[in-house]
A and B are shown apart, each in its own frame.
Chain A
Amino acid sequence: MSNQAVAMPRKTRGPWAVAFAKLATDRAAMASLAVFLLIVLACLSAPLYAKWAGTDPFASTLDAVIQIDGADVPVMEQSTEGLGLGYTPIGPTWRLGNYFLGADSQGRDVMARMLYGGLSSLLISGAATIFTLIIGTLAGLIAGYFGGITDTVLSRFLDVLWAFPIYLLAISLSIVTITQGISIGPIEIESGSLWLPVIIIGIVYIPYVARPIRGQVLSLRSSEFVFAAINLGVPGWRILWRDILPNITTTLIVFVPLMMALNMLTESALSFLSIGVQPPAASWGTIIQDGQALLYTRPLVALVPGLAIAVCVMTLNVFGDGLRDALDPRSKVRLGRD
């Protein structure tokens, strides 16, 4: 009986199935993914929430009056401190759909703004990740595969970009495009567009992707199967597409959550410096900036978005670590801050 069992063909699973089975047993990574997806879902429901709550998160409503337990309460309360001048926005009511987290300095519902802000934060960091991965991979592939003068020029350029402190580069790019936008030939981006932060964040992290990819391509290029393909007369672009790209896919996948976490922090920092998402649009960074003036009276306005960023970044990092361990355990991809 036992001999027969040995002789039977064993069912084997592909490398992807093995990796995902391994990932599925990583409880911390799966829990993180679940939390992150919940936040994404909540943010996607932002328009529904605003409609249900009957609030416009982008228009200032300083004279609005809401009902709490049958009593009329103005959204902006007359200040009781100091000279009694000025107004303090209403604090959290803890009633969903009715200024759950209170109002900001414009009398807008912070909860609704949180959801919309999260939506732009997630969209920007996601789109910037895709942008960086595409351009960075292209640059890495071209530099690593074609070598010679192309490689020298590209690599030196990437070295300079790498040495340029991320925030300083992003600040320079933002400040010149922030008032009038940018137009390159037929492409024209308005100054308030969410594409501006996407492109700026996308650009500054290109060397973080391109340099490791170039290194991998360089070593793949001297491997036997690529050598064989070259000698068979396969054109260069086809080798890149069919032989090289599949071998760097795992690295690229591992980059996604880690890049996204980094982009999220960068986006929020730029928005906090008022050179990211422009009003009236919101992102978690701009809400923190709005809340800065209310920090001592209505701290939740600034605290909640920061907490949301921290949770997203942390879950993305834990999930990213799990993904790396499952897909590419030998790699030493480290995406530091800045």
Chain B
Amino acid sequence: MIYAILRRFGQMLFVMFGISVIVFLIFFATPGADPAARIAGRNASPEVLEAVRHSFGFDQPLYVQYVKMMEKIFVTGDLTSFVNRGWKVVPAVMDSIPVTLSLVFGAAILWVVVSIVIGVVAAATRDSWLDKLLMALGLLGISMPVYWLGEVMNLITQSRYHDSWAFSWVPPLGYKNFSDDPKGWFLTLVIPWITLAILYIGIYGRVLRAAIIESMQEDYIRTARAKGLSETRILLRHALRTSLIAFVTLFGLDFGALVGGSALLTEVVFGLHGIGKLTYDALQNLDLPMIMATVMYASMFVVIANAVVDFIYILLDPRLRTS
């Protein structure tokens, strides 16, 4: 088991290194334009360009530049924005992490709970109208662009039906710190959580339904029936339990993707100033140092999160320890 964990850990380090090299090459070695001009932003003066060249070591070989960039992002943290003069990028990223994590964890809880319910109900009422309806809704969920769904939510809860009893509790867009105002924190996040979860409920409900239906064919289910257990008990205690394995694997993969993708778009629509909003603003200003930092930190987080899921998996499933 120690060997399996060490192996996975080594793999994680390799992937982190690989990603950092790719990011470096994209930002510093993409042919077509002077990287200093890109980093300095629009209409930079020659002095600024010179400062950029010096601080990133563009007159030195590539590996020196790579080390300098990594040092600025992860060690000294003194990467500064040239668009917003002198703004330290790394502390800004750190400040935005709690916002993104609040959004992502809340959405994940919601999506896991609801999709388990949907998967079980659909499998139990297999081929009925309810099953078909749930699966069609699930398909609709995965087909909608998440930022568009967010806008529809805003339109309903902030504008059109804001004055009705159903949505009068929805606070204006923005984020409130949990430590200052726990109730406000919860209320501002409810709609973003639902928006983000709808996407994944679709996929997970479908996957879980298929897995449950497959495991209902197994011999141990027949044994359970022969023992005279009730159908509900068979479904929940026997079929669902084995089906959750596939569910957990997928969850590990998608949780990471969520942080590096859909959450970013959701933050933009709901004005939550997490890493996604930070990236979005930097994209509008062509603020490359900021994007370097957000991309690097977010992808490192994703890689670590995926590895942690695998560690837990190795601990839980004895079969994985030897392979």
Q: Are B261 and A165 in contact (CB under 8 A)?
A: yes
B148 within 8 A of A: yes
Q: Quick one: which of B33, B140, B145, B203 contacts A268, CB cutoff 8 A?
A: B145
The residue of chain B having its C-beta at the shortest distance from the C-beta of A296 within the complex is: B159
Q: How far is the CA of A230 from the CA of B295 in the complex (A)?
A: 46
- Say yes or no: is A272 at the interface (Cβ < 8 Å to chain B): yes
Q: How far is the CA of A143 from the CA of B129 in the complex (A)?
A: 46
The answer to whether B299 touches A165, judged by C-beta atoms less than 8 angstroms apart, is yes
* B257 touching A337, Cβ below 8 Å: yes
Pick out which of these stretches binds chain A: B97-105, B178-186, B262-270: B262-270
A135 within 8 A of partner (CB): no
Q: Is the CB of A310 within 8 A of B26?
A: no
B291 within 8 A of partner (CB)? yes
A30 to B27, CA, bound (A): 45
Complex Cα gap A164–B33 (Å):
24
Find chain A residues with CB under 8 A from B149 CB.
Answer: 306
**Are A160 and B159 neighbours in the complex by a CB distance under 8 Å?**
no
Q: Choose the segment among B85-93, B236-244, B278-286 that binds chain A (4+ C-beta atoms closer than 8 Å).
A: B278-286
User: In the bound complex, what is the Cα–Cα distance between A164 and B23 (angstroms)?
Assistant: 10
Whether A318 and B139, one on each chain, are in contact in the complex, defined by CB atoms closer than 8 angstroms, is: yes
Q: What distance in Å separates the Cβ of B251 from its nearest Cβ neighbour in chain A?
A: 11
Among B26, B199, B256, B265, point to the contact of A176 (Cβ < 8 A).
B26
C-beta contact mask, B218-261 vs A, less than 8 Å → 1, else 0? 00000000000000000000000000000000100110111111
Residues of A within 8 A of B279 (CB): 171
Interface size class of chain A, counting residues whose CB lies under 8 Å from the partner chain: 35 or more
Do B159 and A295 have beta carbons less than 8 Å apart? Answer: yes
Stretch at the interface among A73-81, A84-92, A99-107, A177-185: A177-185
B298 beta carbon closer than 8 Å to chain A: yes
B147 close to A166 (CB less than 8 A): no
Flag whether A173 is at the interface (Cβ < 8 A).
Answer: yes
A163→B27 contact, CB < 8 A: no
Q: Which of B22, B32, B283 lies in contact with A181, CB distance below 8 A? A: B32
A225 to chain B, nearest CB (A): 30
Among listed B13-21, B115-123, B315-323, interface-contacting one: B13-21
Closest B residue to A318 by beta carbon equals: B139
- B284 adjacent to A176 (CB under 8 Å): no
A181 CA to B32 CA, complexed, in Å = 7
Interface centre among B14, B146, B151 (most CB of A within 10 A): B151
- Within the complex, the shortest CB–CB distance from A337 to chain B, in Å, comes to 6
Is B76 part of the binding interface, using a Cβ–Cβ cutoff of 8 Å? no
| Chain B CB within 8 A of A16 CB | no
Q: Using a CB-CB cutoff of 8 Å, which residues 163-215 of chain A contact chain B?
A: 163-169, 171-173, 175-184, 188
User: Using Cβ atoms and an 8 Å threshold, which residues of chain A touch B284?
Assistant: 274
B residues 177-220 near A (Cβ < 8 Å) are 199, 203
Most buried by B among A159, A169, A268: A169
Residues of the A chain whose Cβ atoms lie less than 8 Å from the Cβ of B60: none
Q: Which of A166, A168, A309 contacts B145 (CB 8 A)?
A: A309
CB of B38 closer than 8 Å to a CB of A: yes
CB proximity of B206 to chain A, nearest CB, Å: 10
B30 to chain A, nearest CB (A): 5
Contact A314 B143 (CB under 8 A): yes
A248 contacts partner chain B, Cβ-Cβ < 8 Å: no
Max count, chain B CB within 10 A of own CB: residue among A156, A167, A309, A317: A167
Contact of A172 among B35, B42, B139, B295 (CB under 8 A): B295
Chain A residues whose CB sits within 8 angstroms of the CB of B258 once the complex forms: 338
Contact B268–A336 (Cβ < 8 Å): no
**Alpha-carbon distance between A179 and B284 when the two chains are bound, in angstroms:** 12
- Interchain CA distance A87-B172 in the complex, whole Å: 24
Q: Do A179 and B145 have beta carbons less than 8 Å apart? A: no
A265 adjacent to chain B (CB < 8 Å): yes
Q: Does A299 contact B (CB under 8 A)?
A: yes
A28 to B70, CA, bound (A): 52
Q: Known contacts A292-B151, A299-B155, A314-B139: does B257 contact A336 (CB below 8 Å)?
A: yes
Contact of B32 among A180, A261, A273 (CB under 8 A): A180
Judge if B288 is at the interface, Cβ distance under 8 Å.
yes
Residue A288 interfacial (CB < 8 Å): yes
For the complex, give the distance between the alpha carbons of A172 and B288 in Å: 9
Contact of A168 among B32, B144, B295 (CB under 8 A): B295
User: B302 touching A269 by the CB < 8 A rule?
Assistant: no
Q: How far is the CA of A309 from the CA of B152 in the complex (A)?
A: 14
The complex places the Cα of A164 from the Cα of B259 at a distance, in Å, of 12
**Given contacts A160-B22, A163-B303, are A273 and B280 in contact (CB under 8 A)?**
yes
A157 to B147 alpha-carbon distance, docked (Å): 31
Verify if B81 is at the interface (C-beta below 8 Å from A): no
24 residue pairs of the A-B complex, CB under 8 angstroms, read: A159-B15, A165-B256, A165-B261, A165-B298, A166-B257, A167-B261, A167-B264, A167-B265, A168-B260, A171-B283, A172-B26, A172-B291, A175-B286, A179-B38, A180-B33, A188-B32, A261-B143, A268-B145, A269-B146, A306-B148, A306-B151, A310-B140, A313-B142, A314-B139
6 residue pairs, one from A and one from B, having the closest CB atoms: A165-B260, A306-B148, A160-B18, A338-B257, A314-B143, A180-B33
